[in-house]
């Protein structure tokens, strides 16, 4: 509510200065659907230089496009001059922009449900594109010629899928057919980073499973991932069926990796490079791959307790356990989760020590016993942890006694 009040103040200031000003786009859509939102964009007749003069703190994020950020009490609001755009190049950016009326501004937008304006001072809706009608009918419809809209910005094809799956709307037939017609032209005009941002937004609403199906139907999924070109619908449905049981905070890359479950680590890291992922996402991919190997080792392969303790101590282990466990046939899930619950209970103290970085035997302990800092000390600390966890020993002196019996201890 605070954001609403502050945004309304901005509108009041601009209207008082003589400029028609409304809330625009997604906030209006969500408001009409009774979906509360603090993300309020403002559209106005005022040119950017006037906006900058009227408000004490602004950020010039897109002056060439008539866009400025107004900061009020630490809250940021995007304020854009009503505009029309012409002559798009590279499927992304217009080369010509000029000021326009609210109606012309609405006509340049992507979908009718996003082309609405709301006057917060008079509580009046302005709908020049029949967006309210499509909201009621639960339809995603491009404004004007859908082919033209998608040629202006090809990312809109993916956004259509995001809105469709988020709200459980249907894509209007002409809009649908235009996406199919232009799906293969998504790249190179759209940067992979923008596609990845859309995936994150789909995941935010728990809709990646239905989004992947819709992207597949429209020919977009195989454009993004050409390796899936020969994938049959039934195979995709089988891959994504477990998604609904994944934890809410599952990293988006985990969903993508599950489209390629049998790929080597090198191949999965190659996917990360292709998607231009962050270091954090690449690190998750490394842990995810190693976790899968560890969790599904042959039964006769012995995994030490110290390895399990380090695995469980990693914050990402919970997500990996949930993903892999929930991907098993239903008859095997209970056994999988029971095994790991018991193992974690057994190793509870060791896991906590690893997470808090509080080993039973420390470098100070070894110094006191006559070991000088260096490679030998590092190896002895590793052995101390292995002895402590594998043998479930809680007494540091007992661990040191065992270390003293090892050839490593007497090494000079």
- What pLDDT digit, counting tens, does each position of 244-283 carry? 999 988 999 999 999 999 899 999 999 999 999 999 999 9
Band of pLDDT at residue 96, cut at 50, 70 and 90: low
pLDDT at 284 over 90: yes
Q: What is the pLDDT of residue 91?
A: 52
**Poorest-pLDDT segment among 56-70, 168-182, 311-325:** 56-70
What's the pLDDT tens digit per position in 334-358? 999 999 999 999 999 999 999 999 9
Handedness of CA 151, 171, 97, 70 (dihedral sign): negative
**Averaged pLDDT for residues 77-94:** 74
What's the pLDDT tens digit per position in 165-174? 999 999 999 9
Q: What is the pLDDT of residue 1?
A: 67
The DSSP line for 87-138 is EEETTTEEEEEEE--HHHHHHTSSBGGGSEEEETTTTEEEESS-HHHHHHHT
Contacts 24+ apart (CB under 8 A), 16-23: 17/46, 17/50, 17/54, 19/44, 19/45, 19/46, 19/50, 20/44, 20/45, 20/82, 20/102, 21/45, 21/46, 22/102, 22/117, 22/118, 22/119, 22/120, 22/126, 23/117, 23/118, 23/119, 23/120
How far apart (Å, rounded) are the C-alpha atoms in residues 259 and 317? 20
Q: What is the pLDDT of residue 65?
A: 80
More confident of the two residues 3 and 155: 155
pLDDT at 83 over 70: yes
What's the pLDDT tens digit per position in 356-396? 999 999 999 999 888 889 999 999 999 999 999 999 999 99
Q: Given the structure tokens 């040629």, which residue do they identify?
A: 151
The DSSP line for 209-251 is HHHHHHHHHHT-HHHH-GGGTT--HHHHHHHHGGGGGS-TT--
**Averaged pLDDT for residues 139-162:** 97
What's the pLDDT tens digit per position in 296-334? 988 778 899 999 999 999 999 999 999 999 999 999 999
Tokens standing for residue 380: 């002895």
The pTM assigned to this predicted structure is 0.88
In the chain, pLDDT over 70 holds for what percent of residues?
Answer: 96
How far apart (Å, rounded) are the C-alpha atoms in residues 208 and 391? 44
């Amino acid at each position: 509510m605070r954001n609403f009040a502050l945004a309304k103040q901005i509108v009041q200031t601009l209207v008082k200065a003589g400029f028609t000003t409304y809330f625009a786009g997604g906030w209006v859509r969500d408001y009409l659907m009774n979906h509360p939102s603090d993300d309020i964009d403002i559209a106005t007749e005022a040119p950017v230089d006037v906006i900058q003069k009227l408000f004490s703190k602004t950020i010039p994020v897109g002056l060439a496009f008539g866009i400025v950020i107004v900061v009020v009490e630490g809250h940021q609001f995007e304020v854009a001059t009503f505009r029309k755009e012409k002559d798009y190049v590279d499927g992304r950016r217009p080369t010509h922009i000029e000021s326009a009326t609210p109606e012309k501004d609405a006509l340049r937008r992507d979908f009718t449900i996003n082309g609405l304006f709301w006057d917060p001072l008079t509580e009046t809706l302005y709908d020049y594109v029949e967006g309210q009608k499509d909201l009621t009918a639960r339809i995603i419809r491009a404004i004007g010629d859908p082919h033209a809209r998608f040629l202006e910005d090809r990312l809109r094809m993916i956004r259509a899928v995001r809105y469709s799956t988020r709200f459980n709307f249907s894509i209007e037939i002409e809009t649908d057919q235009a996406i199919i017609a232009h799906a293969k032209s998504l790249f190179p005009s759209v940067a992979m980073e923008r596609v990845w941002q859309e995936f994150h937004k789909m995941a935010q609403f728990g809709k990646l499973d239905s989004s992947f199906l819709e992207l597949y139907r429209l020919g977009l999924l195989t454009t993004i991932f050409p390796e899936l070109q020969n994938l049959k619908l039934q195979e995709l449905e089988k891959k994504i069926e477990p998604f609904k049981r994944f934890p809410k905070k599952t990293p988006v890359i985990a969903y993508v990796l599950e489209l390629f479950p049998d790929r080597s680590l090198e191949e999965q890291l190659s996917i990360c490079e292709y998607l231009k992922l962050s270091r954090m996402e690449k690190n998750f991919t490394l842990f995810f791959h190693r976790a899968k190997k560890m969790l599904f080792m042959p039964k006769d392969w012995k995994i030490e307790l110290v390895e399990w303790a380090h695995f469980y101590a990693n914050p990402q282990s919970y997500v990996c356990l949930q993903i892999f466990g929930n991907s098993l046939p239903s008859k095997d899930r209970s056994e999988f989760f029971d095994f790991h619950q018991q193992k974690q209970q057994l190793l509870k103290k060791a896991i906590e020590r690893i997470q808090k970085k509080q080993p039973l035997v420390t470098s100070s302990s070894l110094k006191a016993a006559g070991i000088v800092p260096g490679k030998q000390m590092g190896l002895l600390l590793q052995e101390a942890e292995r002895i402590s966890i594998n043998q479930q020993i809680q007494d540091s002196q007992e661990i040191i006694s065992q270390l003293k019996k090892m050839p490593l201890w007497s090494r000079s």
